Structure formats: structure tokens, C-alpha cells
């Protein structure tokens, strides 16, 4: 079963659940609308990787919103966004832990021979295909920067 089929089936289940599935239904509908827009923009059917990219973008947008709503102290909206993220993450592959990202980043740094934070582009270029869809790009960049920055004395 493809991700799109799974989203459709889960949407039907949320419809049947009525009030209990209201938030789940809303999130799935928004995700399916984003997928439809992406398919129209692409001019072709979406591959599984395209679907994963769209869903990851939806999660990333909600995480950005959480930062803003936390800044203005709207914890009710933050809680709602976190619940939406939890629903969307059910459709994404397991996310890498910080330790796993650090191990992959260390290997990429060793492979590229990078020693300076100014050469982060070469490390990110080697690392991102390995973690695509399984880790947030900002988190990966933060870890790579911390590994390339010498400790302060």
C-alpha cells in the first residue's frame, strides 16, 4: 500500500470516528491537499519520495510555527501543532537520533577531509543524501557545525 493510499484509508477511518477523529481528519486533509498541489506543480504523479518530501515539509512548517507561537506565549496553539506533528510523523520513516546523526556526520567529515567550518558545504553535500527524510536539515547542520568548530578554551 502506498503512502497516498494509506492516507486515504486513514482519512476514511477518521471520518467514521466523527468527533474523536476530527483533528486527525483535518491534518490528513491538509496533507492530501499539499500532495495534490505538488502533483499539479510537478505535472505528473508523485513518487513515494515526493510524498515523503511533502509530508516532511508539512512537519517542518509546523515546527517553525511552534517556535513563533512559543515566542508569543500561545501554548494552546503549540500543543495543537505538536499533536499535528505526531499525526504526520506516523507516515514518515523513523527519524534518526542525535547520536546517529553525529556518527554519520563524523564519517562524512572524515570522508571529505574537512577541517574547517567554512567548508561545511562539502560535508552537507555528502551527508544530506544519507539522512534525507530521516532527519531535519537544520539539526544536521547544527551537529556538523558543532563537530567542525574547535572547542573554546
pTM for the structure as a whole? 0.77
Residue 95's pLDDT band, with cuts at 50, 70 and 90, is: confident
pLDDT of 150 reads 73
pLDDT of 153 reads 60
pLDDT of 91 reads 92
3-state SS, residue 135: coil
> 103-107: long-range contacts at Cβ-Cβ below 8 A with a sequence spacing of 24 or more?
104/130, 104/131, 105/140, 105/143, 105/144, 105/147, 106/147
Whether 124 shows a pLDDT value over 70: the answer reads yes
Q: Taking the domain 3-89, which CATH number applies?
A: 1.10.1510.10
Pick the CATH number of 98-148 from 1.10.3720.10, 3.40.50.1820, 1.10.10.410, 3.10.130.10: 1.10.10.410
* Average pLDDT score over the chain: 90
Amino acid at each position: 500500500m502506498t503512502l497516498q493510499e494509506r492516507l486515504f484509508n486513514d482519512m476514511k477511518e477518521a471520518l467514521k470516528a466523527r468527533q474523536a477523529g476530527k483533528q486527525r481528519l483535518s491534518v490528513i486533509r491538509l496533507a492530501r491537499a499539499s500532495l495534490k498541489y505538488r502533483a499539479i506543480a510537478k505535472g505528473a504523479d508523485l513518487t513515494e519520495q515526493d510524498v515523503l518530501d511533502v509530508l516532511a515539509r508539512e512537519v517542518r512548517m509546523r515546527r517553525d510555527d511552534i517556535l513563533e507561537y512559543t515566542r508569543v506565549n500561545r501554548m494552546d496553539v503549540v500543543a495543537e501543532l505538536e499533536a499535528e506533528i505526531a499525526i504526520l510523523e506516523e507516515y514518515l520513516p523513523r527519524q534518526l537520533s542525535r547520536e546517529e546523526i553525529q556518527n554519520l556526520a563524523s564519517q562524512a567529515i572524515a570522508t571529505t577531509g574537512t577541517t574547517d567550518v567554512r567548508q561545511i558545504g562539502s560535508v552537507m553535500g555528502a551527508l544530506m543524501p544519507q539522512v534525507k527524510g530521516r532527519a531535519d536539515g537544520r539539526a544536521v547542520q547544527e551537529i556538523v557545525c558543532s563537530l567542525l568548530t574547535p572547542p573554546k578554551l
